[in-house]
């Protein structure tokens, strides 16, 4: 059954990926009507998340964020499919990299780094674009899919331009094995970890568990932590911003590092709330007593 669904959908997936961007966005507008207007995909989850995250905003303001989010969410889906066939030239045209000197300075020191970011902006197209920079080799942490056929497709999509992947459970082992490589290992910092082994903080007005593995690995390997955000100045155009968040992680505690990147991400979400992934159930756990 897994193979059948894969081979039925595969031609359509590649067909979408080959569409010009102008046609892709016409399709995205139609998808917006289907998901948001017709099906109301996860609207209750999104509305509840926005209400809890922005209690100071009016209902009208939150509805505007919701509407803009779904428009962006549909773009995100189709742009991600586009990365299956997008050329390096088109990536460079559509995605610019601000502050490349942040990576250049560490690369010149043969220093590997850790990237922390959130589900803010199109992280998939940003990863593809980073592969074209002449600095660190990018390793991305990912969750293997249950369907092995689609898992291979996603693996190909994310590595076809030179990036590499670590399965979540193999991250530290892989990083230790590849220590001779000048690498930038990207962690998505807004995953939902097990509440029993997490650092708890207040994030967007709510008790939130934070995955501590990123901070733990950065301290163990003494890899500086770079915060990366992906902004969208206009539809179909992105800007990757980078800043050094923690230069010497061994001088801070795991909790301090976790707090730093969580608050930095929160600042970007407050500034551009419609670019964050509001459809996931980020606050399904309660802080232990």
Looking at 15-24, 188-197, 249-258, which range is the least confident one? 188-197
Task: Indicate whether 222 pLDDT > 90.
Answer: yes
Residues 86-142: tens digit of each pLDDT = 999 999 999 999 988 999 999 999 999 999 999 999 999 999 999 999 999 999 999
The C-alpha atoms of residue 210 and residue 255 are separated, in whole angstroms, by 9
Task: Indicate whether 38 pLDDT > 80.
Answer: yes
Residues 162-219: tens digit of each pLDDT = 999 999 999 999 999 999 999 999 999 887 888 878 899 999 999 999 999 999 999 9
| Cα–Cα distances in angstroms (integers) from residue 280 to residues 89, 141, 147, 165, 243, in the given order | 33, 18, 21, 23, 27
Predicted confidence at residue 1, as pLDDT, reads 73
145 close to 152: Cβ distance less than 8 angstroms? no
Residues 68-81: tens digit of each pLDDT = 999 999 999 999 99
139 close to 185: Cβ distance less than 8 angstroms? yes
Task: Indicate whether 289 pLDDT > 80.
Answer: no
Cα dihedral across residues 34, 37, 40, 41: positive or negative: positive
The C-alpha atoms of residue 124 and residue 122 are separated, in whole angstroms, by 5
Of 73, 63, 61, 66, residue with least CA distance to 29 = 73
Predicted confidence at residue 40, as pLDDT, reads 96
| Cα–Cα distances in angstroms (integers) from residue 67 to residues 63, 181, 231, in the given order | 6, 43, 18
Q: Please provide the DSSP assignment of 194-252 as one string.
A: -GGGSEEEEETTEEEEE--HHHHHHHHHT--EEEEEEEEEETTEEEEEEEEEES-GGGS
């Amino acid at each position: 059954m897994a193979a059948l669904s894969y081979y039925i959908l595969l031609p359509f997936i590649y067909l979408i990926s080959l569409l010009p961007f102008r046609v892709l966005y016409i399709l995205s507008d139609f998808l917006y009507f289907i998901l948001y207007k017709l099906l109301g995909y996860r609207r209750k989850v999104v509305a509840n998340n926005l209400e809890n995250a922005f209690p100071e905003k009016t209902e009208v303001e939150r509805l505007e964020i919701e509407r803009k989010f779904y428009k962006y969410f549909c773009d995100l889906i189709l742009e991600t499919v586009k990365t299956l066939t997008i050329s390096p030239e088109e990536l460079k045209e559509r995605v610019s990299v601000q502050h490349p000197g942040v990576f250049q300075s560490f690369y010149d020191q043969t220093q590997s780094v850790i990237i922390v970011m959130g589900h803010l902006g199109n992280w998939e197209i940003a990863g593809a674009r980073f592969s074209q920079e002449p600095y660190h080799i990018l390793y991305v942490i990912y969750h293997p899919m249950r369907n092995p056929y689609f898992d291979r497709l996603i693996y190909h999509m994310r590595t076809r331009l030179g990036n590499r992947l670590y399965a979540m459970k193999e991250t530290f082992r892989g990083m230790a094995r590849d220590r001779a490589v000048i690498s930038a290992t990207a962690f998505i910092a807004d995953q939902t970890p097990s509440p029993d082994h997490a650092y708890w903080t207040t994030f967007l007005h709510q008790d939130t568990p934070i995955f501590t593995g990123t901070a733990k690995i950065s301290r163990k390997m003494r890899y500086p932590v770079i915060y990366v955000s992906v902004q969208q100045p206009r539809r179909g155009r992105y800007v990757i911003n980078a800043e050094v968040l923690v230069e010497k992680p061994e001088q801070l505690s795991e909790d301090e590092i976790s707090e730093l990147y969580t608050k930095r991400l929160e600042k970007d979400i407050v500034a551009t709330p419609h670019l964050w992934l509001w459809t996931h159930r980020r606050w399904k756990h309660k802080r232990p007593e």
